[in-house]
Chains A and B, each alone.
Chain A
Amino acid sequence: ETGVTQSPTHLIKTRGQQVTLRCSSQSGHNTVSWYQQALGQGPQFIFQYYREEENGRGNFPPRFSGLQFPNYSSELNVNALELDDSALYLCASSPGAGIRGTGELFFGEGSRLTVL
């Protein structure tokens, strides 16, 4: 059973550019959520995808968008990058939206984005 994998592990962009981060969820997991973790802070929820549809969003502007594919892998896209977007972006998968309140999330190791 493979875990959650994310790519790329590190990348550097300049302000105003766009970035796409990718996540392969754990086998059998149909729910993916994305988090942003600034240096020294706890992760912040960006949004969640369940069966290819967004079904929960945190306090992030529309330039943060995502996709989930039929194989449950996912992408996070950020447009018009700002310096404050520099952070570790974490992807987490879970077995299903039907498990309410109790299921554990499995996190990848993250993609570290630096915006110059």
Chain B
Amino acid sequence: DAKTTQPNSMESNEEEPVHLPCNHSTISGTDYIHWYRQLPSQGPEYVIHGLTSNVNNRMASLAIAEDRKSSTLILHRATLRDAAVYYCILRDSSNTGKLIFGQGTTLQVKP
């Protein structure tokens, strides 16, 4: 299984943009890049995913490097409710239910 590398923790101020980086240098051509987040005392929650092109949804944007060896999750205006552990996950096309979670990035948002 391909691995991802993320910083252990990041801090942000409320209402400022946050860029959460992820390195995945061993990504294969069929791996999708998924992001999930886990708020305190809750199960993980899907944020966004992409394959090659940048993606936007109501929660966040995903910027994928041209060589696909890294990606960045962008929260455009962080709120206190965005404080969570963010997981960058490579998901292959062979099995839908298996996600390989790393340690993730713990995001702190300061008021």
Contact = CB atoms under 8 A, between A and B. Distances in A.
Nearest to B98: A45
Contacts of B103: 41-42
Q: How big is the B interface, by class? A: 20 to 34
Contacts, number: 75
B43 A33 contact: no
Interface string A76-111: 000000000000001010101101111111111110
> For the side of the interface on A, what is the size category?
20 to 34
A73 interface: no
B98 A58 contact: yes
A63 B76 CA distance: 45
A99 B94 CA distance: 9
Contacts of A33: 97-98
A24 interface: no
22 contacts: A32-B97, A33-B98, A42-B85, A42-B87, A42-B104, A45-B98, A58-B98, A92-B43, A96-B96, A97-B96, A100-B94, A100-B96, A101-B91, A101-B92, A103-B96, A104-B34, A104-B46, A104-B49, A105-B44, A107-B44, A109-B43, A110-B43
